[in-house]
Chain A
């Protein structure tokens, strides 16, 4: 990591869940993507949960730039997450869902322009007025991805962001994520099962493996 770039520094982060435990040490520079890989159930989502503040760490530090963020309340953490499911409020329109990502649910003209460009690029511009329940799984995933990427948060956590997409759309979305990440100098952690995803877009890959099985 070049020293002049504000990045994410995870130092000696100990996490324990049931009988498994992990210890993480890694850095990501702004404008870079870290692919998080590993077997199913190995703790990838738990790492994202800890970074997002949904799951506590036993010890260690999460530092963004010069600020230690692991003690911050969820609502104050500079993090935006794409969960595996329930990313959209089913009772609100796609447009309302997208707007909720911005301060006071009202994006500036420039921000909204970016949203519209992304909708067009990813092929979901027709869905703006519809409810999520009328959309396909892939369309929902793209809408949620747009909101997560364009929010004003420096750290972006993507939990299997392309799982519902076909190969071509997957490529389109991956390229777009990479582009936004670089343009807006975001720090992106992307959980994926596909080695191709990591090769195509990630600057680094993190293999997740539990330390040991303790009989708690």
Chain B
């Protein structure tokens, strides 16, 4: 590793910690404002808390239950078409900018949506229904990928053995399949629960009032609509405590594998026609559910009035969004490579554990809580009006760091395991080793991390909601405001653009087969 790194690494780690410490200081009331505890006696607070928990619970249960038949069909039914394509689409759905999806769902199920006439008079899209639809759309694909991966992990010999022993139907399921699934279901459900509990854009766009609002949205409203830091602090504390405790709880449930490509499967025992048919139906419905909202954007966007469409603003906003996302994902890359350079230098398990904890601790702190802390801490000293962009880039980097770290860790570990002695023996210079050998080894993983973090930052609503401003919007916020002023066709067109950019970036940065 370059010598400069030896200094930069520890500096970087201190910086990562400092950001959280500063946010905590703000939450502790170190600045001017303290948390407003009187909210505990306000009924609306309890209503918001209850709704946050209930929608997250329903979203995770629904996502997991619906994913099981689809994943099973994907893993076991050799006759399914377009599997590889579907699994790639799932990856995109999971990181899809929420506003793209929301616009599509509104075009399908909203007041004048394409499907609304068939849903009966009592159908209400806004509120719990819409939020659940969006959350299941965003998280079902993740669950499908994890479960499918688990099913594929069942060794060929287990299937052969179960056939020879004459296991059928449920018996085979309980004895062969359930044991590999059982371990991972609570972890998937827990993870989805946390994501939905921290959901911001979906609830902001589709919720409303305390009966359909979450803590994240309430924090945003307290800070930006009412400028009530005391209330925002109290809500942020609540959010932090719940997420922190749940994270520590769920972390024990196991590690999830979902990004690795589909595996080649060997011999599988034959299934009854009814089971195959059910699986195929589930697969077909999943495709419909995951594709239709996005496909709907095309006819919706066709109705756009080309003369009144804000082309100039769209161009400007798109460039700004691209700038933010590029800088955030590049910063992330530098950060994560830097963290690993310190991690590799240390041979002590304890030091490595500390470094890992520093890199991962942002998982426990929701982006909104971190944003509120940083915002309030520096409010007396600097103008966020001018410097908000720095915070947007940095915080988008930080919230993606745990993801990047967990993705890279196995690769770095394997590299050291296999090549540490060879690298020493070859006596390559630090820079030559770093650039020619090490980086090129990590390149496929780095590319994937870069692509996904770019798309996540591109779709960010929460961090921008605190530090951004109206006259300085990003693409998701432009879509939000267009949809909010009932310009659905304009919103659909902008959403298609956002979707197109996301797909393009993921496609370009997808590691090629050769380099795997």
Contact = CB atoms under 8 A, between A and B. Distances in A.
B289 interface: no
Most A CB contacts (10 A, CB to CB) among B426, B432, B436, B440 go to B426
Nearest to A148: B425
Contact of A83 (B422, B429, B441): B422
Contacts of B424: 53-54, 74-75
Given A52-B425, A80-B425, A91-B441, A86 B436 contact: no
Contacts of A53: 424
A50 interface: no
B418 A100 contact: no
A87 B107 CA distance: 58
B427 interface: yes
A83 B421 contact: yes
A92 B422 contact: no
A105 B425 contact: no
A5 to B, nearest CB: 25
A81 B432 contact: no
Given A75-B427, A89-B441, A91-B441, A105 B436 contact: yes
Interface size class of B (residues with CB under 8 A): 10 to 19
B415 to A, nearest CB: 9
B437 interface: yes
Interface size class of A (residues with CB under 8 A): 20 to 34
B428 interface: yes
A162 to B, nearest CB: 19
Contacts of A131: 514
Contacts of B432: 104-105
Most A CB contacts (10 A, CB to CB) among B424, B441, B515 go to B424
A79 B424 CA distance: 10
A24 to B, nearest CB: 21
Given A89-B437, A92-B437, A101 B419 contact: no
B437 A86 contact: no
For the complex of A and B, the 5 pairs showing the least CB-CB separation, nearest first, are A74-B424, A86-B418, A81-B425, A75-B427, A91-B441
Interface of B: 418-419, 421-422, 424-429, 432, 436-437, 440-441, 443, 514-515
23 contacts: A54-B424, A74-B425, A75-B427, A76-B427, A80-B425, A81-B425, A83-B425, A86-B421, A87-B422, A89-B419, A89-B422, A89-B437, A91-B440, A91-B441, A91-B443, A91-B515, A92-B437, A92-B440, A100-B426, A104-B432, A105-B428, A105-B432, A131-B514
